[in-house]
A and B are shown apart, each in its own frame.
Chain A
């Protein structure tokens, strides 16, 4: 479904990503792990259209979507749950979800709102609460639900467990499992490497902007050298 080939992204003189290639197949959960500053968020930003890669291509199915704007990428079927969630704190849960469905027709948006209320019961109970009054776990669920409101082909999540209590981290990974069971295609950036590799079908390890290893979650879990050297988790 997603094919990234030779992607290089630079911030001025600094090369944040160098010749990165990865793929995500339909229905897969793929993890992207690595230490702080490895370029994980830059990679998601380059795919989602927030950053312009200087070289390489991004294909979604047969379509070359390299360098498209975020709004075009969303319409192409790529939704990103950004780092730190970035929900709209002055808008209610329902308004956050409605804006997540800005690209879908009204009737479908209403259906999706009902689906999200079903999938995230905690949000249904806080429908009219402002985003700023949600707990970290609730806000994370809202951020994921908001991204799902566009009916994406590919859901990308950036550090979904960041800053959450361990019990809420469990909830987030349970949610990833449920989304996988629904057949959704997911690319997750995560610093909690052990949990990510347990949850992922496949994963890539990124260090200093370069992919240094890839394989199934179980294969990578077995490579302790990789953890000690690159991940530390």
Chain B
């Protein structure tokens, strides 16, 4: 029982980061029908910006907000340079464009920066733990879960209380109907990329804190986790994205703890098998999303 509780906390910590990534993927899918495989590159670019800042003597207190700002700006730049040019194209074209950006960003860092791992200091408290009765809880997991809850609360407030949030939700439900109400497509799409970048930036802080380094392909794993979690939750559903992220994090941690040590390295493979089984029985993911027909 204690071990299960311990794993649940670990899984929620890991799943919180996936939830933030998946939410960013879901926001973009909602307004553009784009499954954004370039989402992880926000972490790659932020990671290198963080590395450069550490080289200049910055501390995590300054690097953390920098990572968020760089992630937002990168998201907007990618939208401006790439996705705005294929807006209205087929879903397949959008998908290929996002793959292209994913590989292009990796290649740029590989060719013009370095193929080697760039390390930076992890905050001292990342490895700290504290006890609650028989439970040993990582400070890192506690901070991740707390920050994720605050970030989600802010996101919900934006979506429900502001006109931008209403416009974003309307556009996600029925883009053309939203345009008929006067919602500006440019503004809402840029806003979605900014919000997606903000969420990825928060996730990037924790991803980079845990990793303590970055590489040209640093964005691949978070991209995969974010997209998978969004698919598990039900593409286009914001609640589903959060649920999917938490489910993926919990599945990884619980499986790793329960599988025999000899096959523990196969955890990710087993998770993929479980996801495949989920899609056999619920191809729409955990939450069903009704998409309006376009005019």
A interface with B by C-beta (< 8 Å): 45, 48-51, 69-71, 74-75, 79-80, 82, 86, 88-91, 95, 98-100, 102-103, 146, 150
Contacts and interface: CB of A to CB of B under 8 A. Distances in A.
Interface centre among B169, B174, B179, B185 (most CB of A within 10 A): B179
Interface string B59-74: 0000000000000000
Given A91-B170, A98-B166, A99-B167, A71 B292 contact: no
B180 to A, nearest CB: 5
A79 B183 CA distance: 12
21 contacts: A48-B180, A50-B176, A50-B295, A71-B183, A79-B180, A88-B169, A88-B170, A88-B173, A88-B174, A90-B173, A91-B170, A95-B166, A98-B163, A99-B163, A99-B166, A99-B170, A99-B181, A102-B166, A102-B183, A150-B181, A150-B182
Interface centre among B167, B177, B181 (most CB of A within 10 A): B181
Contacts of A48: 180
Interface residues on B, range: 20 to 34
Nearest to B184: A71
Interface of B is mostly: helix
Contacts of B169: 88, 90-91, 95
Contacts of A99: 163, 166-167, 170, 178, 181, 183
Given A82-B295, A91-B169, A95-B166, A102 B179 contact: no
Contact of B295 (A45, A91, A98, A150): A45
Given A50-B180, A99-B181, A99-B183, 13 more contacts: A49-B179, A50-B176, A51-B295, A71-B179, A71-B183, A71-B184, A80-B180, A88-B177, A89-B173, A91-B170, A98-B166, A99-B178, A102-B183
Contacts, number: 67
Contacts of A86: 174, 177, 292
Contacts of A74: 180-182
B141 to A, nearest CB: 33
A201 to B, nearest CB: 25
B290 interface: yes
B241 to A, nearest CB: 15
A163 to B, nearest CB: 15
Nearest to A41: B295
A102 B184 CA distance: 10
Contacts of B163: 98-99, 102
Interface of B: 163, 166-167, 169-170, 173-174, 176-185, 290, 292, 295
Nearest to B174: A86
A70 B180 contact: yes
A103 B181 CA distance: 8
A48 B184 CA distance: 14
Contacts of B292: 86
A103 B163 CA distance: 10
Contact of B179 (A70, A90, A91, A150): A70
Contacts of B178: 99
Nearest to A74: B182
A70 B173 contact: no
Nearest to B160: A95
A100 B181 contact: yes
Nearest to A149: B181
A180 to B, nearest CB: 22
Contacts of B173: 88-91
A39 to B, nearest CB: 14
A90 B169 CA distance: 9
A105 B292 CA distance: 28
A86 B177 CA distance: 7
A146 B182 CA distance: 11
A79 B179 CA distance: 11
Interface centre among A51, A75, A102 (most CB of B within 10 A): A102
A149 to B, nearest CB: 8
Contacts of B174: 86, 88
A130 B210 CA distance: 42
A92 to B, nearest CB: 10
Contact of A71 (B166, B185, B295): B185
Contacts of B183: 71, 99, 102
Nearest to A95: B166
B166 A70 contact: no
B207 to A, nearest CB: 31
Nearest to A48: B180
Nearest to B163: A102
Contacts of A49: 179
A73 to B, nearest CB: 8
The 9 nearest A-B residue pairs measured at CB: A74-B182, A103-B182, A70-B179, A86-B177, A99-B170, A88-B173, A99-B166, A50-B295, A70-B180
